Amino acid sequence: MGEVLGIIDAGSNSFRLCVVRLGPAPAWRVVDQAKAWVRLAEGLVPDGALVPTARRRGLEALRGFARICEERGVEHLMAVATAAVRQASDGEEFCAAARAAAGVPLRVISAAEEAELSLLGALNTLPATEGVLLDVGGASTEVVRFAGRRLTGSGSLPLGALNLTERLADGAIPAADLEGCLAEAFDALPALRGVPFGLPLVGVGGTVRTLAKIDRKVRRLELLPLHNYRMSAGALEEVVGRLTTGEREGLPGLIPQRAGLIAAGGALVRAAFRRAGASELWVSGAGLREGLIYQRLLAGRRPPVLGDVLEAGVESFLILHGLDRRRSQQAVRLAGELWDALKPLHGLEDEWRRVLTAAAALREAGMAVGPYKEGRHTFQLLVDGTVRGLSQRETLLMAAAAAYRGDPAELKALLAPYARLLADGDRRRIRRLGVMASLAWSLGRYAPAAVRVLGGRGSPAAWHLTVAAPEDGVWERREAAGWEVAFRRAFQATLITETPSD
């Protein structure tokens, strides 16, 4: 692993620090992180100075972050300030004070740069190709239109969860007029004009994460990670409706620091969602800070955007856990050949092929923990969404398939906490994907580069798999024989492994 990088995001509501160690692209690992509730935009009026108490809170947070960076051996520190400092008349003075008092090279970034960085963070960690990104901060909201995984337009509103809350409180915006004011503001943004109906709205920032936490709690889906959590239009309307009508008491998933701001922030998200004609709200746990990380990690690319998020996620996992990348690549190839050879038998839709290849590549993930119960370790390492590029349901099935060792009882135990997330037929899909992933590893155990799955034929009762391998496939036949029982359970057919000479 390489350079230790420190990232500070001096936002209008909270300041955040992320310390990461960069590896060979696309890998990087979080070493430490910290957060301070600064509320820098508190009491800030247009073209006015930062309130002294907010300014002191900000500098105190930066001094603490600087100590963490020193302790962690940060070699390069990137610190950016967003809307509050951008809008303040003494913003540059605050940046100078940050350098003098804390040694933090804080710089103000424009709304356009903020939007671009947030998009970089989201695009490099989500399987989104086209849509609208919304980043709700404390004092501004950034809107980005993207297509073909590239930015095509952006705009900014001088309204965020904190300053909108203050304007509602002092009557500058009457509560009765809020919905109309927000609709008018979003209508005026060129980035939202002509957006095709039904694209996802990708949400970045604490407001969006809080809405998702509430929905996740209400729907008892706490086991799902927040990153790539998806809310339907109905779910968003339900949550925001409760917040804007004052039903916040006892609402699960709402932390005290967000309680006073979430109604205004939720109204912003809902207005953007309606204006964009979005199909779903995709929650991105990655935004501006991750954008800065990828900007440095992928410095040779223009733009610094990964081509395939899933492929990069698998590669990153293998690098970070010290696993055999060459062996995984061979397993992926063999899994693809098995998919084709067994297609008449497995009957899976083409969308599951990428789930299979990910499961095959990561089947031995649990060995990073140890060989004892490595299947269970594999499942736990993969199910939390560490590998980016799949939907949450696809991630669950991929993790279970990678962990499947042919024991239905063990699979049932692994999936028990996730029963609410499974659709009809998912357990059958997992068994079939799992057996194919395991066969790919087993057939490639002795001479992976020399083994080829040439095809398959047969009846629903018996399936002949033709495999080309050294020494007439004697070792490969033995490996395949070890999976005959699991194959029969998964496919309701007997597996017969042959070589071209048979």
Name the residue among 71, 8, 5 with its Cα closest to residue 34.
8
Given this model, what pLDDT does residue 246 score? 65
Provide the CATH number for the domain around residue 394: 1.10.3210.10
Same domain assignment for residues 462 and 360: yes
Same domain assignment for residues 337 and 450: yes
Provide the CATH number for the domain around residue 104: 3.30.420.40
Radius of gyration of the chain (CA): 26
Strand order, beta sheet including 452-458? 452-458, 462-468, 494-498
Given this model, what pLDDT does residue 502 score? 75
Q: What is the pTM of this model?
A: 0.92
Same domain assignment for residues 407 and 480: yes
Domain end point (choices 71, 94, 109): 109
Does residue 220 fall inside a structural domain? Answer: yes
Confirm if 94 and 55 have CB atoms less than 8 A apart: yes
- Alpha carbon distance 287, 142 (integer Å): 12
Same domain assignment for residues 426 and 487: yes
Provide the CATH number for the domain around residue 283: 3.30.420.150
Phi, psi (5° rounding) for residue 18? -130, 125
Does residue 294 fall inside a structural domain? Answer: no
Structural domain harbouring 226: 112-289
Type of residue at 68: I
Does residue 295 fall inside a structural domain? Answer: no
Given this model, what pLDDT does residue 250 score? 60
Distance of CA 436 to the CA centre of its chain: 27
Residue 303, C-beta contacts closer than 8 angstroms, at least 6 positions apart: 120, 150, 151
Domain end point (choices 109, 128, 151): 109
How does strand 230-232 pair with strand 201-204?
unpaired
Q: What is the 3-state secondary structure (H, E, C) of 379-410?
A: HHHHHCCCCCCCCHHHHHHHHHHHHCCCCHHH
Confirm if 165 and 266 have CB atoms less than 8 A apart: no
Alpha helix positions (H), 279-406? 288-297, 309-320, 325-341, 343-346, 353-361, 374-383, 392-403
Same domain assignment for residues 118 and 102: no
- Alpha carbon distance 419, 430 (integer Å): 13
- Alpha carbon distance 100, 98 (integer Å): 6
- Alpha carbon distance 411, 430 (integer Å): 9
Alpha helix positions (H), 103-188? 111-123, 161-169, 178-187
How does strand 462-468 pair with strand 494-498?
parallel
Given this model, what pLDDT does residue 325 score? 95
- Alpha carbon distance 387, 362 (integer Å): 10
Cα dihedral 395, 400, 403, 405 in deg (nearest 10): -150
- Alpha carbon distance 381, 399 (integer Å): 8
Does residue 298 fall inside a structural domain? Answer: no
Confirm if 414 and 403 have CB atoms less than 8 A apart: yes
Confirm if 77 and 105 have CB atoms less than 8 A apart: yes
Same domain assignment for residues 395 and 325: yes
Number of domains in the chain: 3
Confirm if 10 and 258 have CB atoms less than 8 A apart: no
In the chain, which residues have pLDDT < 70? 246-259
Given this model, what pLDDT does residue 20 score? 98
pLDDT tens digits along 280-293: 999 999 999 999 99
How many CB atoms sit inside 10 A of residue 94's CB?
A: 23
Same domain assignment for residues 104 and 118: no
Does residue 303 fall inside a structural domain? Answer: no
Does residue 302 fall inside a structural domain? Answer: no
Tokens representing residue 293 in the block: 């990380």
Same domain assignment for residues 339 and 464: yes
454: helix, strand or coil: strand
Tokens representing residue 112 in the block: 């356009």
Beta bridge partners of 153: 145
Does residue 301 fall inside a structural domain? Answer: no
Domain end point (choices 239, 256, 289): 289
- Alpha carbon distance 471, 263 (integer Å): 69
Same domain assignment for residues 34 and 136: no
